[in-house]
Structure 1
Amino acid sequence: MKVLIAIDSFKGSISSVEGSEAISLGIKDIYPEAEIVTLPLADGGEGTVEALVQATGGKLVKKVVLGPLKEKVEAMYGILGDGKTAVIEVAEACGLPLVPSNQRNPFLTTTYGVGELISDAIEKGCREFVIGLGGSATNDAGVGMLQALGFRFLNLHDEEVGLGAESLLSIRKIDLSHVHAKLKECSFKVACDVNNPLYGPDGAAFIFGPQKGATPDMVKQLDKGLEHFAEIVLDELGTDIHNIEGAGAAGGLGAAFSGFLHADLQSGIELVLKIIEMEKNMQGVDFVVTGEGKLDGQTSMGKAPLGVAHLAQKYEIPVVALAGGVTEETAALNELGITSYFSIMNAPMTLEEAMDSKVTYNNLRSTTNQLFRLLQAVRTGVKK
């Protein structure tokens, strides 16, 4: 028997690597001789670096950068097994968890550290980049990231503006003469699963600003800053960064990557599946086990398990999905490639207990054990 394990992390509980190990042990309990292929999964958000590094035999790199509050933080990114591709989660350098709840103010936070990570990877020989957007504490349209890469944004007095969204309204000119020389050799693929424009009612400030600490009045000011910046970019560079699908992602980082770095914004899960060669690894597989912390209506809108199921369906491979929580909407997944799904919860418990990594690990192993025990009984019966 050959089984492919491809699960996302159970966020806040267990990584995709640890979860895959637990499932693998559950299978081996029943089928010791089983051939198991493990491909830790992610959808471009949290866990993408770890998943891609693990899948390609790459390495993790730590770098001290300027965090969202303009204080030094240690961030991590990955270099894939080919030695030339860097994978970066922007949240490592400007993520919301890096900002205490009582200090959340998207006027002040900066994406500068993201640019420092890119620059460090360039110096290490990387020329291809995979970027995971999401989870940012910022609303600076990616200006901080661009500043770290040598782009200069000047005010009326030809002075460089400061960091953070509060500086957007001061920008009058863009100076490209100091941009990192090797940046033109680089290509960027950006995992982006939202299609919001840069500004307006559906833009970065109105849709994502409140969760980053913005009050209603702040949202309006932030939106004005984004609109002003887009107008300057259009006048100075002839580039429309407002109407790009996904421009508003991560506080406008989508606009910066696409408009300034010529990035290709695409579905996170599709990008990840291509990099880890998921389709190639499905050849000859008898069963696929996928899953994530919670299976719900969102799963049917492009999240990791569904991406796996779509490929498996192409080859008529049964797919079992495991999750901590399963909602009523999950039934729709049976029509989208997931053969059956199961909650790994086996007793009443508090959310805190359920999120404990040891509990999740043991529940994944025991649930898998029981599923494959049933499978063994069915297959034995068929043979008889």
Structure 2
Amino acid sequence: MKIVIAPDSFKGTATAAEAAQALSQGWRDVRARDELVALPMADGGEGTADIVAAAHPGATVHQVPGCTGPDGRAVTGSFAMLPDGCAVIDIATASGLPLMAAPDALAATSRGTGEVIAAAMDHGATRLLIGLGGSASTDGGASVLAALGARFTDSHGEPLPDGGGSLGALTRVDLSGLRPPPRDGVTLLTDVRNPLLGTQGAAAVYGPQKGADPGEVTTLEQGLTLLSALLGGDPGRPGMGAAGGVAYGLATAWGAVTLPGSAAVADLVGVDRVIADADLVITGEGRFDRTSLHGKAVGEILSRAMCRGVPARVVAGDATDSGVLTLVWLAEGAEAARRDALVWLRRAGAALAREIELTAAVP
């Protein structure tokens, strides 16, 4: 049999690649002769660049030391360069929420991502593919654009400090020094459909997840409103609120386009080609619920498998669907499942292989 193992990450416990390896090991423990194809997945969040690079022979990963982290401390960013000149960047690498020493919704900056973009272009990138999941900031992309040469100044002509909290003092936006986008354009990967502003906007919906209290949400909303009045564009377009408005900033100043992350990554890693002749597809993620079927990697894999008539199974850390094999059930508890996730993922792979053995044994 040909088994395709295509999980997303089990956040906080296993990367997508680790999950795919553990599930594969478990399957081989029971059915060593089957053909296994590991195809780690992502939806535009952390790990997207590595996963896309791994699926493209000749791709190279480049470190960018000394980037400005989301709380101002230096971090090492990175990008993957594909053989066709496309650079793939995860915003979480240099501007991710886990990089914050402590929550600071007003001061968190996305500047480091702009620095990684500049490094990729200096390296010869002719196209950019940027995953927007996991950002720490709510600055409308102003800090990204500032790193690329734009100027955001107050009434005295002084550059604004980084962070969405300073945008309320914005008086002028000067794009004359902004570096032009790469020749073949910029694509943003996200499963977020929120606009920049309003009750469903970046500040109101995602600000609290980044540490903003109600007063700070109001401050961020006011700053983003002022930014949009001066920068222009269409802040009401679906997806402009992604990554605290980085999508809006890059779409407005650079003409970047947004695509659903899970579908784009599936295309980039060749999911359709790989599963076309598969006998079974196994996918998974940390928690499976009704939102998993809408814009997430697991839902994308299930949809594509179903369209091709290929059976599929889901392994999850936990789930609201009784038809999903969960690590919590195998480990008889959430704590044990989290503590030894790779062990239980391996056992999940073995359990699914035994199901196949039992099915084959039925006359």
Asked whether the two chains share a fold, i.e. TM above 0.5, the reply is: yes
Q: SS of 1:116's equivalent?
A: helix
Q: Describe the shift of the 1:48–1:378 C-alpha distance in structure 2 as closer, same or farther (beyond 3 A).
A: same
For the residues of structure 2 that align with 1:377 and 1:262, how far apart are their CA atoms?
Answer: 54
Which digits, 9 at most, give the CA deviation of each residue in 1:72-116, with x for residues without a partner? 112233223x25122212122222211123xx2222121110100
Superposed counterparts of 1:324-335, under 5 Å: 324-327=317-320, 330=321
Q: Describe the shift of the 1:362–1:302 C-alpha distance in structure 2 as closer, same or farther (beyond 3 A).
A: same
**Matched residue, 1:307:** 300
Residue among 77, 80, 83 paired with 1:78: 80
**Matched residue, 2:119:** 120
Q: TM-score, normalised by structure 1?
A: 0.88
Q: Describe the shift of the 1:378–1:164 C-alpha distance in structure 2 as closer, same or farther (beyond 3 A).
A: closer
Q: Describe the shift of the 1:17–1:109 C-alpha distance in structure 2 as closer, same or farther (beyond 3 A).
A: same
Q: Describe the shift of the 1:173–1:77 C-alpha distance in structure 2 as closer, same or farther (beyond 3 A).
A: same
**Matched residue, 1:89:** 90
> Are the equivalent residues in 2 in contact too, given 1:309–1:319 (CA < 8 A)?
yes
For the residues of structure 1 that align with 2:343 and 2:217, how far apart are their CA atoms?
Answer: 44
For the residues of structure 2 that align with 1:251 and 1:42, how far apart are their CA atoms?
Answer: 20
Query: Following TM superposition, by how much is the alpha carbon of 1:292 offset from its aligned partner in structure 2, in angstroms?
Result: 1.0
RMSD between superposed Cα atoms in Å: 1.9
> Are the equivalent residues in 1 in contact too, given 2:46–2:93 (CA < 8 A)?
no
For the residues of structure 2 that align with 1:308 and 1:210, how far apart are their CA atoms?
Answer: 31
The range that moved more, 59-68 or 165-174, is 165-174
Superposed counterparts of 1:22-171, under 5 Å: 22-57=22-57, 58-64=59-65, 65-80=67-82, 82=83, 84-101=85-102, 104-171=103-170
For the residues of structure 2 that align with 1:120 and 1:146, how far apart are their CA atoms?
Answer: 14
> Are the equivalent residues in 2 in contact too, given 1:40–1:55 (CA < 8 A)?
no
Query: Following TM superposition, by how much is the alpha carbon of 1:186 offset from its aligned partner in structure 2, in angstroms?
Result: 4.3
- Verify: 1:362 aligned to 2:343, yes or no: yes
Q: Describe the shift of the 1:221–1:152 C-alpha distance in structure 2 as closer, same or farther (beyond 3 A).
A: same
Q: TM-score, normalised by structure 2?
A: 0.93
Q: Describe the shift of the 1:221–1:371 C-alpha distance in structure 2 as closer, same or farther (beyond 3 A).
A: closer
> Are the equivalent residues in 2 in contact too, given 1:40–1:54 (CA < 8 A)?
no
In structure 1, give the amino acid aligned to 2:349. T
Query: Following TM superposition, by how much is the alpha carbon of 1:314 offset from its aligned partner in structure 2, in angstroms?
Result: 1.1
How many aligned positions are there? 360
For the residues of structure 2 that align with 1:176 and 1:168, how far apart are their CA atoms?
Answer: 16
Q: SS of 1:185's equivalent?
A: coil
Q: SS of 1:62's equivalent?
A: strand
Q: Describe the shift of the 1:186–1:194 C-alpha distance in structure 2 as closer, same or farther (beyond 3 A).
A: same
> Are the equivalent residues in 1 in contact too, given 2:71–2:101 (CA < 8 A)?
no
In structure 2, give the amino acid aligned to 1:76. S
> Are the equivalent residues in 1 in contact too, given 2:337–2:344 (CA < 8 A)?
no
Which digits, 9 at most, give the CA deviation of each residue in 1:300-355, with x for residues without a partner? 2222111101111111110011112122xx25xxxxxxxx531134233452x321
Which digits, 9 at most, give the CA deviation of each residue in 1:109-162, with x for residues without a partner? 211101000011111121222211132221111100001111122333444333
> Are the equivalent residues in 2 in contact too, given 1:87–1:129 (CA < 8 A)?
yes
Which digits, 9 at most, give the CA deviation of each residue in 1:209-264, with x for residues without a partner? 12222222222121111111111123xxxx23x11211112211121121112111
**Matched residue, 2:204:** 206
Q: SS of 2:240's equivalent?
A: coil
For the residues of structure 1 that align with 2:188 and 2:195, how far apart are their CA atoms?
Answer: 16
Q: SS of 2:331's equivalent?
A: coil
> Are the equivalent residues in 1 in contact too, given 2:55–2:269 (CA < 8 A)?
yes
Gaps of 5+ in 2: none
**Matched residue, 1:334:** none
> Are the equivalent residues in 2 in contact too, given 1:40–1:52 (CA < 8 A)?
no
